[in-house]
Amino acid sequence: MNGQELRLVMSEQKVTWHAQHKSSLTKGERAADYLRNGMGSWPFVGGFILFMILWAAVNTFALAGRAWDPYPYILLNLFLSMLAGLQGAILLIAAKRQDALASAMAQHDYDTDMAAKAEIEQLMTINEQQLVILRELQSLLSASSSRP
């Protein structure tokens, strides 16, 4: 199969609901998801703790008399407060988008369930019709076998 045939086969494949949704995200929504996934990880927590320890060490020991943020680290506290505010906003954006995604998935599941229910009801109707036909055949067969 050459490259053109492969592209043709791949273009004929159905696009899943998830892929379609992911492609419809805005840059801001993608950024919020990326930041949420990064901030909610152990490497971020470890790196952030390391950063704060380095900040305190540099300002307490390395630059003792010339520290740009001496103890009680007011500048660090300001940065932490700003980070907390930004994290809260980013997490709310990501949570709002996640809620919309969950709602859309629930609607998709409901639609799928309703379609399956309709198909099952149609199959049950066909099955009932077949049972009626079988009973009629059995009665005809028993009536013909009881005649001499």
Number of domains in the chain: 1
Assigned domain for 141 exists: no
Q: What is the pLDDT of residues 50-64, one digit of tens each?
A: 999 998 888 888 787
Residue-range definition of the domain harbouring residue 36: 26-102
Is the pTM higher than 0.95? The answer reads no
Handedness of CA 105, 107, 110, 111 (dihedral sign): negative
Assigned domain for 65 exists: yes
The percent of residues in the chain predicted with pLDDT above 90, rounded, is 33
108 vs 111: CA distance, rounded Å: 5
148 vs 138: CA distance, rounded Å: 18
